[in-house]
Amino acid sequence: MSNVLELQESAVHLGQETQHEQHHHETFITKYVFSQDHKMIAKQFLITGMIWAIIGGLFSVLFRLQLGYPESTFPWLEDLLGHWAKGGKIQPEFYYALVTMHGTILVFFVLTAGLSGTFANFLIPLQIGARDMASPLLNMLSYWFFFLASIIMFSSLFVQTGPASGGWTIYPPLSALGDASSGSKIGMDLWLTSMAMFIVSSLLGGLNYISTILNLRTKGMSMTRMPLTIWALFFTAVLGVLSFPVLLSGAILLLFDRNLGTSFFLSDIYVNGKILPNEGGSAILFQHLFWFLGHPEVYIILLPAMGMSSEIISVNSRKPIFGYMAMIGSLFAIAILAFLVWAHHMFVTGLNPFLGSFFVLLTLLIAVPSAIKVFNWLTTLWRANIRFTPGMLFAIGFVSLFISGGLTGIFLGNSALDIHLHDTYFVVAHFHIVMGVASFFGMFAGVYHWFPKMYGRYLNNTLAYIHFWVTIIGAYLIFWPMHYEGLAGMPRRYYDFSGWESFKMFAGLNEFISVVAMIVFAAQLLFILNFFHSIFKGRKVTTANPWGANTLEWTTPIRPGHGNWVGEIPEVYRGAYDYGKDGREFIPQTEAVGENESHH
Amino acid sequence: MKQFLLIAIVVMIFVVIFQIAKASEYVSVLKGEEKARKQNNKINAFLLISFLILGLIGVWWCNDLYYSKTLFPMGAASEIGQKIDLMLYITIGVTGVVFVVTQVLLFWFSFKYQENDDRKAFYFPHNTKLELLWTTVPAIFLTVLVVFGLKYWFKMTSDAPKDAVVVEVTGHQFAWEFRYPGPDNILGKKNYKLTKGANSLGVDFNDPASLDDIHVSATMHIPVNKPVKFVINAQDVIHDVGLAHFRLKMDAVPGIPTTMWFTPLYTTEEMKVRSGNPNFVYEISCDQICGKGHFSMRGVIVVESAADYKMWLATQKPEYYTVFPDKAPNATPTDTSNVKQMPLAAVIASGK
């Protein structure tokens, strides 16, 4: 205990020092580029993530164009993309590159780095009462490794043979053999190198988040007084630190197979008229390594959204989050189970059925903590007094999407059903709703809620409401009908369905989905516009605590400098969710417990 | 020109929306921000409940439009497939109820408990009984689903009956090859290093079992009402044998053979009637991304009566004779060096 106190002392000391320093020599470079202020690093992650989101979203618009209009040609595409769109038609190689990069970008660069990177950096020190991260230097490096990964991945879009095109899951042998696909030439090496840099970034960030949460909490901020955002970000970081290294090992072994003639994943291959010498490797081994990260990754994406939605729902319901301890418990259960279910992605690989049955059981077990969370959110809304800020709307949207997408997980986790639904549009619908769109909703909720703290200004409300309504309606219109395509067995990652008697009847639906996807993409541009416009021109925040929230970040100045608090870091006397207690609308964490206060 | 016009229109729409949004911000300042906020609150609460109602109608409508296009109306074409359909129905039923109840509660609460100056939020931080309730109830439901699921899972992954028709399925970029064991009912050995020219599957013809094996491409024939076992492998990258009508799927992995078995219940002709589609065919789709031609990696299965199947099989020539045409019993020699080895009768018959 004394250790923790000492660390806190030194952190306070450090904060004052840096604050002192900033008056003297803070240049443009140290303030905006190589900044060590967690708030600036958070903004760097957010804006880089937003740029990637536009690119990844644009890719989806392009491949939806092909899926919606497989018979048409668009001459302007050839002007834009050259031989990738010969004759105004997106070529199959390019289609698969688009699909692959869309997945890679959205899963890793936007919903991992963009989401965790932004909110873990921004909220952890502010909500636990710390001047900065445990190691601001590593924190800065974490961003710059991400930046390096981004540059490498971006450059892979411009190599002659094209970027990686074997799907974001990069299963070998397809990803290992340049002879099997042009995207598996230099584009794949760049993909793997970029991901290695990305994993370094993620580990630096994760270790920092964990040590900051464990060691730098302010006086009185016991673990069970922390806001649920911090709990969620904590488990997210633990998941990342324990699972990303496994993907790194997989990526390195794959690089060896590609370039050094090893046979970790290759055996008995005859490709493009060549008999390869590799024998004894296992293509399935890679899938185990990949999904050992890949499944926790789903929760790395989802947990921050859960945490932020919990916080935002409670604040705007003016009610305590229902079952705070159960919420932590279910986060914990999800984090543990996340490591024990990876093979449910591999039911069709010829997995030992007995082994498979354990993965079925453990997978469906995740539904229990998920159900607890959903019912707790619903009970939080019950008899509340709800303010529909844009953040709150997105948090409610998150719960709705989490229910819709979570329930289809019960189909897919059950191996016998998964056999039919595996790799069909049912899966596409499931994971886009539950981890794609739902996590985006959590992220939007977070941006709308904490934008005033980030920039001291508000986002435009009307644009925000338009953004919300177009996005939630659009998301359901895009992904709900896909379940039917999946039930009909329609495989994902198909460039064209017109040659298939069994699948061609969905052409009209595919066109409809493509049109809605373009509208939803346009609505996201509206959000981007709102974001950048409001940084400079938004309505100014005039009160320190605009939402009437209990947590510590609202006790800082409206635009906190490096070090966050002027003077002492406030002490904490209670949990984060005393809303509506004893007839009072809210009681900040910094307020001492009164003598007559009721116990609960 | 047209696309510039289109871009101009899109930009215009953006500008208009943006200006309206800015204007509404000024209006709210003039009206009093608190008042504007409360009005927004009412509008959004109303929109949320409308979204619920229209959404549920939309779910119904979507089902109306697309249910007939799924595979359910025509039914599964294999024994195990019918069990899986039953399980799908049960799962849809259970999750459907949960879906409707939770979504109704979510949006109804949001509407009903929208901000109201006359009411205060109810302080309700936890309740152990309630929390236990929604831990145990889902757990019980899931146990039922797991038990059901595993029962069928073990059934579908069990060993094929001994009398099953065996077909070897091989995937390569971007087509399917099928090999039948022939009269001896044993598939000849293979070695990928022997893959060359006409011996496209790398069959080891030193193995006597391979001499009567039959190799066909793209279209496979199997008899109805008889168990069929697939031995699956791939030559280059991972593929996947997807049989939507039989509700089955299995990866084809280079170097690691896999198997699956099922009993087809309806011939292709019968399915034409059941599906109401005169062009109906059983298709094999590749369900694992395998390169640029992935979407065109199509195979066809003809399910026919045992008699038709036998007749078809009888017309097939063993692969051995296609790889070594000169060894065929009725081969016409193309090479004089072979003439010496030919039996006299054959030489006379060929007129040399």
pLDDT at A159: 94
Q: From the candidates B289, B294, B297, which should be mutated to test the interface with A, based on the most A CB atoms within 10 A?
A: B289
Question: Scanning every residue of chain B, which has its alpha carbon at the shortest distance from the alpha carbon of A94?
Answer: B292
Q: Are the beta carbons of B295 and A385 separated by less than 8 Å?
A: no
Q: Are the beta carbons of B291 and A96 separated by less than 8 Å?
A: yes
**Lowest-confidence region among A70-79, A247-256, B1-10:** B1-10
Comparing B333 with A589, which gets the higher pLDDT? A589
Q: Which residue's structure tokens are 């069928």?
A: B152
Q: Is the dihedral of CA B285, B289, B294, B295 positive or negative?
A: positive
Is residue B33 over pLDDT 90? no
Strands A274-275 and A270-271: antiparallel
Task: With cut-offs at 50, 70 and 90, classify the pLDDT of residue A196.
Answer: very high
pLDDT at A4: 46
Closest C-alpha among A377, A227, A384 to residue B123: A384
For B251-278, write each residue's pLDDT tens digit. Answer: 999 999 999 999 999 999 999 999 999 9
Q: At residue B100, what is the residue type?
A: V
Closest C-alpha among A182, A219, A13, A198 to residue A94: A182
Give the closest-approach CA distance of B208 to chain A in angstroms: 22
pLDDT at A16: 46
Tokens of A594: 């009164």
Report yes or no: A205 and A114 within 8 Å, Cβ to Cβ: no
Q: Please calculate the CA angle A186-A189-A195 and round it to the nearest 5 degrees.
A: 140
Q: Cβ of B88 under 8 Å from any chain A Cβ?
A: yes
Q: Cβ of B296 under 8 Å from any chain A Cβ?
A: yes
CATH of B165-323, one of 2.60.40.420, 3.40.50.970, 2.10.70.10, 3.40.190.10: 2.60.40.420
- Spatial CB neighbours of A492, under 8 Å, sequence gap ≥ 6: A423, A424, A425, A427, A428
Task: Kindly state the average pLDDT of the residues A217-222.
Answer: 96
Give the closest-approach CA distance of A555 to chain B in angstroms: 23
Q: Are the beta carbons of B287 and A422 separated by less than 8 Å?
A: yes
Closest C-alpha among B228, B214, B220, B235 to residue B170: B235
Percent of chain B whose predicted confidence (pLDDT) is above 90: 80
For A482-540, write each residue's pLDDT tens digit. Answer: 999 999 999 999 999 999 999 999 999 999 999 999 999 999 999 999 999 999 999 99
Q: Are the beta carbons of B244 and A462 separated by less than 8 Å?
A: no
Question: Scanning every residue of chain B, which has its alpha carbon at the shortest distance from the alpha carbon of A405?
Answer: B99
Task: Kindly state the average pLDDT of the residues A427-454.
Answer: 97
pLDDT at B298: 96
pTM for this entry: 0.93
For A473-487, write each residue's pLDDT tens digit. Answer: 999 999 999 999 999
pLDDT at B28: 85
Is residue B351 over pLDDT 60? no
Is residue B348 over pLDDT 60? no
d(CA B265, CA B164): 14
Q: Which domains does chain A have, with CATH numbers?
A: 2-22+36-583 (1.20.210.10)
User: Torsions phi, psi of B171, nearest 5?
Assistant: -100, 140
For A573-593, write each residue's pLDDT tens digit. Answer: 999 999 999 889 999 999 999
Q: Which of B58, B113, B245 sits opposite A381 (nearest CB)?
A: B113
Task: With cut-offs at 50, 70 and 90, classify the pLDDT of residue A39.
Answer: very high
Q: Cβ of B4 under 8 Å from any chain A Cβ?
A: no
Task: With cut-offs at 50, 70 and 90, classify the pLDDT of residue B7.
Answer: confident
What ipTM goes with this model? Answer: 0.93
Is residue A8 over pLDDT 50? no
SS3 percent helix, strand, coil of chain A, rounded to 5, is 70, 0, 30
Closest C-alpha among A576, A391, A451, A566 to residue A42: A451
- Spatial CB neighbours of A585, under 8 Å, sequence gap ≥ 6: A318, A548, A579, B120
Task: With cut-offs at 50, 70 and 90, classify the pLDDT of residue B331.
Answer: low
pLDDT at A90: 94
Beta strands across the sheet bearing B258-262: B214-217, B175-180, B165-172, B228-234, B258-262
Q: Which residues of B touch A383 (CB under 8 A)?
A: 113, 121-122, 124
Task: With cut-offs at 50, 70 and 90, classify the pLDDT of residue B332.
Answer: low
Closest C-alpha among A294, A282, A309, A383 to residue A341: A294
For A81-106, write each residue's pLDDT tens digit. Answer: 888 999 999 999 999 999 999 999 99
For A258-268, write each residue's pLDDT tens digit. Answer: 999 999 999 99
Burial label for A206, CB within 10 Å (0-12, 13-18, 19+), is buried
Q: Are the beta carbons of B91 and A460 separated by less than 8 Å?
A: no
Q: Cβ of A144 under 8 Å from any chain B Cβ?
A: no
Is residue A10 over pLDDT 70? no
pLDDT at A44: 97
pLDDT at A75: 87
For A408-422, write each residue's pLDDT tens digit. Answer: 999 999 999 999 999
Q: Which of B58, B287, B289 sits opposite A174 (nearest CB)?
A: B289
For B98-151, write each residue's pLDDT tens digit. Answer: 999 999 999 999 999 999 988 889 999 999 999 999 999 999 999 999 998 999
Percent of chain A whose predicted confidence (pLDDT) is above 70: 96
Q: Cβ of B46 under 8 Å from any chain A Cβ?
A: no
pLDDT at B112: 96
Question: Scanning every residue of chain B, which has its alpha carbon at the shortest distance from the alpha carbon of A90?
Answer: B292
Spell out the domain ranges in chain B.
Answer: 27-115, 165-323
Task: With cut-offs at 50, 70 and 90, classify the pLDDT of residue B352.
Answer: very low
User: Torsions phi, psi of B216, nearest 5?
Assistant: -130, 155
Residues of A (546-575) whose Cβ lies below 8 Å from B: none
For B208-229, write each residue's pLDDT tens digit. Answer: 999 999 999 999 999 999 999 9
DSSP, res A274: E
Residues of A (396-415) whose Cβ lies below 8 Å from B: 396, 399-400, 403-404, 407-408, 410-411, 414-415
pLDDT at B338: 44
d(CA B244, CA B260): 14
Q: Cβ of B154 under 8 Å from any chain A Cβ?
A: yes
Q: Cβ of A88 under 8 Å from any chain B Cβ?
A: no
Tokens of A66: 């092909």
SS3 A165: coil
Give the closest-approach CA distance of A216 to chain B in angstroms: 27
